[in-house]
Structure 1
């Protein structure tokens, strides 16, 4: 079996130049190790940008209300984020926001959370040909392996019409791509890539030419739906339905070099019953294995990757343990218990319903809701980082149930869940998020969790009810940085295909051995 590795870059909202800087100024392994100070990754606090920390502090200082992002189909006017009638249609992603009152919207707080991981994908197709006389073709990007030779000795190659940097989001399903239909605003900036449907040989309009509008707490996206070929890590996915962004409103698109969103959640979340991207991958048998994985560094904007169709064992310890997706809407599994120190804060006994843990690559921190949030605020108070102790800020334990019914404990110390600002004041890495009642109570395990734990999202045979999530302790350090550069073909490359090595059974008592009942990162 072979797998494919996509370089991900973490952008923190410091401006469009942040992505270019991340692409062009990758420090070598020696410099990365020196910057880490020689300490083990498990003992380090995860680095978050000043903007992220400020957003987290602002969130703690306000009382959020339940809000809802909705999408309306064939509507001529985006729903106002400040009032008016609620949009109709399926809710896409539920989040909370202190800026939006009422139960009529759902808010995706990308602009306030302050960072996203972006990877390059191709959209559309163009052909470039040269004759036997040697006339060179035009410049290509993401060329499909294997050219065809036409009559008369003309060789033609197919490539993507545009290559864009998109967010890979396991917490949503629909796809949005910046397009040439955008004539003003952030999506029309000269330093942004845009897909031009008029230049793609494979583009077709979506039947009925539906216009979509999505309203956020701090902005909106609008665009028509279309159909074309997507290419990811050298593989092509044909007939993908997506939204062509024609208008964006809000600070998110100005401040972050994002050119689209690739949704990786389940069909039940898809608007209008459109087949999601990964379901097309499954149907078209694109990958050897129907799975993708994320590796996030604790403090390196460059050392991040998405694995498609398999994994490389150099980026995690021990072996993965698998957890069933209990309700295939979000990537969610049963949260048996959440404890702070020795006190149980959330369980089925305390709430009357089975809690869930939602793995979401599009959320930055942990989340809590209702009385759980209140208890977290009470117990994990802001303090100087150097004054924190296990007594003042106890370990957090998240207990999950694996596919064999065994309980697995994920332990986070205050060094990991408390987030420092520039003055070395530490605040808890939690935000208040209210998920819909049918999907709660739930806690979201966002980027903060995924930086310490490598996660594989496995669709198995494609049946949503058979999906599972594999978790293993992530490795960090210069060896992993070097491995990722090898896997992606160098510091500046975006993806590369690799043979997969079989997953080994761990040696008992080794670090990361899952025979232990409690594992601390």
Structure 2
């Protein structure tokens, strides 16, 4: 799924389907490493909140806000619901080295008296809400509420390759009750279907069958907050190693790794011979590792070692993160990019379900 992609987009305006290709750039991990700050950053910012592991994210897209247009690169994130970008009101270092929105240069800017505050796993933002024209690919949303950051503390967002975030989760988790971008698209009839799909792109209002093989497998949502589903089990070589008796999982484009309870992640790493965050195995022996099989709604979704083992210039590391998030129904897993890049995903708001099929 992750290739160097063209910056172009395909907009089928007559049938209200827009396909937005994603841009590959340096990840936060790469930027920190190049500046000699990675080790210190990891010590100060342990991964302790869900849905926000941006360390290895390299893919984002430019959108336009305002008339005349002001361009911003944003992360398309199914693990949050707000759209926000840096603003001229912000003097945090993370704002000064990114594109900043200037209200005085916009003829369509409409201020509000509302504030917005969002906490991410390793960073946060506070700011104000306003309305403006937002263009995403070929879709022009003329009255979209969005956040203008006034503070972006810490180094997390300073080294992020994107300016802001475009959340694609449900309104129920939107900070300050701001209407998410895709909800506005649906409400204004800007998309032909109330769904969006993801491959090496995000397609609003449509599905491209050329990007997946076989049939789409329909999986109902267990909650309309994040894109949350019920998972049956996690197995390797037919042996259940986690999620025994069922658990909850979130499909999140804003998380790069596979994240789950520390016990389950430890079981996986033990099974594949991982130690101290690395895998002591040669490249030629990679194929001997087993698939990790996530069974969801009775359907098996395997993830091969080529996906869950990350090659860092000859040093192999497992693409997992142990987190323990207490929920009433037991374990919570986050199926990030390690999982998603194996499957074409349809995020279906009309039927409150996700559809999965192997990528073609």
* TM-score bin (small chain): 0.7 to 0.9
Within the candidate set 59, 82, 97, 1:117 is matched to: 59
> Would you say the 8 A contact 2:232–2:244 is kept in 1?
yes
Q: Corresponding residue for 2:250?
A: 358
Going from structure 1 to structure 2, the CA distance change for 1:385 and 1:332 (only over 3 Å counts) comes to: farther
Question: How many Å apart are 1:179 and its aligned residue?
Answer: 1.9
Out of 444, 449, 455, the position equivalent to 2:345 is 455
3-state SS in 2 of match to 1:4: strand
Question: Equivalent residue for 1:133?
Answer: none
191, 215, 219: which is aligned to 1:323?
219
CA contact (8 A) 1:55 1:114 kept: no
Of 188, 191, 204, the match for 1:284: 188
Residue in structure 2 matching 1:6, options 10, 15, 20 = 20
Matches within 5 A, 1:105-504: 106=49, 109-110=52-53, 113-126=55-68, 161-183=69-91, 185-189=93-97, 192-206=98-112, 209-216=113-120, 218-295=122-199, 304-347=200-243, 349=245, 354-380=246-272, 381=274, 382-386=279-283, 388=285, 393-401=289-297, 407-422=298-313, 424-438=314-328, 440-460=330-350, 466-475=351-360
1:285 counterpart SS class: coil
SS in 2 for 1:201: coil
Secondary structure of residue in 1 paired with 2:24? strand
- Answer 1 or 2: which has greater strand percent: 2
Deviation at 1:123, TM superposition (A): 1.2
Q: Counterpart of 1:70?
A: none
Note closer, same or farther for the CA distance 1:290–1:108 as it changes in structure 2 (3 Å cut): closer
Q: Secondary structure at the match of 1:194?
A: coil
State whether residues 179 and 195 of structure 1, in contact with CA within 8 Å, keep that contact through their aligned partners in structure 2. Answer: yes
Q: What is the DSSP-based 3-state SS (H/G/I as helix, E as strand, rest coil) of the residue aligned with 1:372?
A: helix
What is the alpha-carbon distance in structure 2 between the residues aligned to residue 385 and residue 169 of structure 1? 34
Kindly state the Cα deviation for residue 98 of structure 1 after the two structures are TM-superposed: 2.5
Looking at structure 1, the residues matched to 308 and 26 of structure 2 have their Cα atoms a distance apart, in angstroms, of 19
1:347, distance to aligned residue in structure 2 (A): 3.8
Structure-2 separation of matches of 1:282 and 1:314: 25
Deviation at residue 50 of structure 1 after TM alignment: 8.0
Structure 1 distance, partners of 2:307, 2:119, is 33
Tell me by how many angstroms 1:459 deviates.
0.9
* Aligned match of 2:4: none
The answer to whether the 8 Å contact 2:89/2:149 transfers is yes
- Alpha-carbon separation, structure 1, partners of 2:80 and 2:349: 15
* TM-score of the pair, normalised by structure 2: 0.83
Aligned in 2, Cα 1:108/1:321: closer, same or farther, shift over 3 Å? closer
Distance in 1 separating the partners of 2:169 and 2:118: 17
Cα pair 2:310 2:317 within 8 Å, conserved: yes
Alignment equivalent of 1:98, drawn from 46, 57, 60: 46
Alpha-carbon distance in 1 for matches of 2:121, 2:214: 41
Q: CA deviation at 1:399?
A: 0.7
Q: Following the alignment from structure 2 to structure 1, what is the Cα–Cα distance between the partners of residues 176 and 312?
A: 43
Instruction: Kindly indicate whether the alpha-carbon contact (under 8 Å) linking 2:197 and 2:345 is maintained by their aligned counterparts in 1.
Output: yes
TM-score (norm 1): 0.59
Structure 1 unaligned residues grouped into runs of 5+: 19-48, 63-81, 83-96, 101-105, 127-160, 296-303, 402-406, 461-465, 476-521
C-alpha RMSD over aligned residues: 3.0
Change (3 A) 1:433 1:12: farther
Per-residue CA distance 1:126-183 (angstroms, 9 max, x = gap): 4xxxxxxxxxxxxxxxxxxxxxxxxxxxxxxxxxx31211000000112211222234
Q: Report the alpha carbon displacement of residue 344 of structure 1 after superposing the two structures with TM.
A: 0.9
For the residue of structure 2 that corresponds to 1:250, the secondary structure is: coil
Number of residues of Structure 1 aligned to a counterpart in Structure 2: 338
Shift of 1:342: 2.1
Change (3 A) 1:348 1:378: closer
Distance 1:375 1:457, change over 3 A: same
Q: Is the 8 A contact 1:385 1:425 kept in 2?
A: no
